[in-house]
Amino acid sequence: MGNNKKEKSNTKIAIVFATILIISGFVGYFTSAILTKVKKSKSTMNALKNTTLDIAPYFIYFTIAVNIIALLYCIISYNNCRKTYKSLGDEDYDKLDEIEIKLGHPLYIASISMILNLFFFTMNAYILLKLHVIPKKSSNLYTILTFGVFLLSYVWEVIIQAKTVSLEKEMNPEKKGNILDTKFVKDWIDSCDEAQKMTIYKSAYASYSATSAAFMIMWVISLLGMLIGDQGMFAPICVTILWLVQVLSYSIAGNKYEKEGNHIAE
C-alpha cells in the first residue's frame, strides 16, 4: 500500500515538473527573445511583435505538449480512482467519498482542456491564415496538425468524461444519464440526492457571481482596446451579448422556478 502511494506521488510530481518545465521554457524563451529584440530595435512594442512572429510557427507544438500532459494526468488520475475503488471493502464509505472527490479531477481537466483547445485552434488558424509566418512547404503539415490535434483532443476529452461518468455510475447505481445525450445534465441532476443538488446550486451561483465580475473586467478591457488599441467594436459587442445571455437566462429561469414553487405550495 505504501509503495502504491509512493508511486502515485512520484507520478504526480513528474507530471507537475514536466508542466512547469514546458511552461518555464516557453516563457523563458519568449522573454529572452523580447530582450534581444529590444536591444536591437530599442522599442518594446516592436520587439514584442517581432518575437511573437518568430515563435508563432512553433505554437502548434505547445498545443500538442499541453494536450499530452492533460491526457496523461487524466488517465493516471482515473486509473488510480478505479484501482482504489476495486480494492474497497463493503463498508469503506469514507474512502468512497474520497474517491468521488478525486474522480472529479479528470472531469475538470478535460473540461478545461476542451476550452483551451478551442482557443489553441483559433490561435493556430490565425497564425496559419493571417500572420503568414508559416513557410509554404510547411503550411500543409501545419494545417494537418492544427485540425488533427483539435479533433483528437475532442475525442480524448469525451472519452475521459464518459469513462469518469461510467465509474461514478458504477459506484452510485442510482445515478442516471448518458454523457452523449443532450439531456445528460438534466438527467444527472434529477438522479442526485438533495445534498448533491444543493452543492450544484451553490456552485452554480458562485460561478454566476464570478462570471459577472469577469464580464465587467472584460468589458473594460474591450473598451480600452476599442478606444486606445483601435480594435473596433466587435469585442464590446460580444461581451455585451454574452453578459445579456447570462443575466436574462438567470432571470427567466428564476421566475419560472419561483412560479412552479408557488404553484406546488398552493
Residue with the bigger pLDDT between 258 and 154: it is 154
**Using CB atoms within 10 A of its CB, is residue 239 exposed (0-12), middle (13-18) or buried (19+)?**
buried
Q: What is the DSSP letter of 182?
A: T
The grid coordinates of residue 253 equal: 429561469
CB atoms within 10 A of CB 6: 10
Q: What is the pLDDT of residue 266?
A: 46
Which of 121-125, 218-222, 227-231, 252-256 is predicted with the least confidence, judged by mean pLDDT?
227-231
Q: Using CB atoms within 10 Å of the CB of residue 209, give its burial: 0 to 12 exposed, 13 to 18 middle, 19+ buried.
A: exposed
**What residues does each domain of the chain span?**
2-192, 193-266
Residue burial 192-207, b: 16+ Cβ < 10 Å; e: rest: beeeeeeeeeeeeeee
How many angstroms from the chain centroid is the CA of residue 22?
A: 18
Is the CB of residue 51 less than 8 Å from the CB of residue 37?
yes
Query: Taking a C-beta distance cutoff of 8 angstroms, is the pair 164, 80 a contact?
Result: no
Is the model's pLDDT at 236 over the cut of 70? yes
pLDDT (mean) for 159-187: 89
| pLDDT (0 to 100) of residue 60 | 93
Tell me the pLDDT tens digit for each residue of 14-48. Answer: 666 676 776 666 666 656 655 565 555 555 556 56
Query: Which of 95-99, 122-126, 137-141 bottoms out in mean pLDDT, i.e. has the lowest?
Result: 95-99
C-alpha separations of 166 from 104, 126, 176 in Å: 12, 37, 10
The pLDDT of residue 73 is 92
DSSP letter (8 states) at residue 56: G
Q: How far apart are CA 256 and CA 29, in angstroms?
A: 54
- Using one digit for the tens of pLDDT, what is the confidence trace for 80-99? 999 988 888 766 667 888 88
Quickly tell me which residue has 481537466 as its cell. 109
Give residue-wise pLDDT tens across range 165-175.
999 999 888 88
What's the rounded Cα separation, in Å, for the pair 58 and 23? 14
Separation between Cα atoms, residue 139 and residue 34, nearest integer Å: 26
Confidence (pLDDT) at 86: 87
**% of the chain with per-residue pLDDT over 70:** 77
